Amino acid sequence: MRTSPTLAASADAADQGAAGGDRRRATRALCALNFFMADMQAGIGPFLGVFLQQRGWQPGAIGSVMTAGGVAGMLMTVPAGAFIDHTARKRWVVVITGICTVLASFLILWSQAGLVVTVSQVATAIAGAAIGPAVAGITLGVVRQRGFNVQNGRNQAWNHAGNMVGAALSGWLGFRYGMPAIFFLAALFGVFAILSVLTIPERTIDHRAARGLEGPHNGKVAPAEGQAQGVRTLLQNRPLLILAAALACFHLGNGAMLPLYGLAVVGAGKGNAAMFTALTVVVAQAVMIVTALAAMRLSASRGYWLVMLVSFASLPLRGLIAGSVIDSWGVWPVQALDGIGAGLQSVAVPGLVACLLDGTGRVNVGQGAVMTVQGLGASLSPAIGGWLAQLFGYQIAFYVLGGFALASLALWIGFATMLRPACAGACEPRAGQPAMGVASS
């Protein structure tokens, strides 16, 4: 019995409608996931220094423990990215790492002994090394390269909104019920993050697209099914190497700025511990929401080079203001600049890495490699900043930390001739590729 053309066309239209509905559901779930995972990952972090300071810890010891976690996370990002490229169980990576993050945080609530806090920070960092590439991979698998810039911008805006709401709630709960209440809030957000990722239909994730094996693009042809280029392709990509080096210098200065500024102001008796720490996060994240959306549009029209340049330029100014204004009102300019730098990078870095490695099948390894190098800077930053503050005072520490970004600017401007074409903007659509996920929300 032959199927009529009309019936076949109707069936195709129904299938396309169902697929479109699944994609819309998936992109909404991605936004929810990014909202809730923000507090699950970072909600405790900004409060950890003040929490330990209240229990007799010195700035140098606090910075050293944070550095231990940073080093552990740095060592795991490339293996985690490789695993994300390989596995078709990306949703469950998010579930397992979410559970581990919450449990590790409760270790600190149970005991503030040096070994326990160090183990907790190491476990949290390892989980964080996996969850970032996992969410980026899921996003790329759902919306493909064509929709990645837009969806990643939305993801980051929701992530910053989650950080802002989580920090505001944490500040109020910490003020009203004490610092331990913050840990329970992070656990609640973790539960909602797990539920959000499980609502993403598995059938919407194209795992070949998730690793950058979609097909021909700009004259490149993706390898055959299941194959990918060697990891050494990362070392042969000069724009990627320059990007990683510039980010390492930036995060060497930026990593310790927020917790150190909280310690400086609270230690001077100019702010309530929980409320002021919450305010530092809320101000930065509110600015990040706007800058993430601006970066999404600017990178599509002007390219990633300008977006990254502005982000690098924000840190020296931030360090100068932080060292000059150690007072409660200083949180507004200091953290607004943090919002500009981090908000722009949250969109530009994953999008730029995805474009640079499109067609290699190593997108998530590349994301992990860049995270590793910038993590090297971020992991050393708390120890450097903490000991500088302890030995020379907070003012000198902020000036030195802000100065590290001058190296980022020198690299980015010095290699501009090479970088500008590579950072020209979001990847051009492939011939014949449908617009997937661009209009979804």
pLDDT digits (tens, 9 = 90+) for 318-332: 999 999 998 888 888
Quick one: pLDDT band at residue 374, thresholds 50, 70, 90?
confident
Q: Rounded distance, CA 147 to CA 160, Å?
A: 20
Residues 6+ apart with CB under 8 A from 367: 81, 132, 133, 136, 350, 353, 354
Which candidate, 80, 78, 68, places its Cα nearest to that of 122? 68
Q: What is the dihedral sign for C-alpha 167, 332, 346, 239?
A: negative
Cβ atoms 289, 164 nearer than 8 A: yes
pLDDT for the residue 40: 61
Cβ atoms 133, 80 nearer than 8 A: yes
Please indicate whether residue 48 or residue 250 has the higher confidence score (pLDDT): 250
- Given a cut of 70, is residue 337 above it in pLDDT? yes
Residues 6+ apart with CB under 8 A from 311: 250, 340, 341, 342, 344, 345, 348
Q: pLDDT of 229-241, one tens digit each?
A: 556 778 889 999 9
Residues 6+ apart with CB under 8 A from 147: 435, 436, 437, 438, 440
Please indicate whether residue 205 or residue 259 has the higher confidence score (pLDDT): 205
- Given a cut of 70, is residue 435 above it in pLDDT? no
Lowest-pLDDT range of 93-97, 262-266, 278-282? 278-282
Q: What is the dihedral sign for C-alpha 257, 263, 269, 274?
A: positive
Cβ atoms 372, 234 nearer than 8 A: no
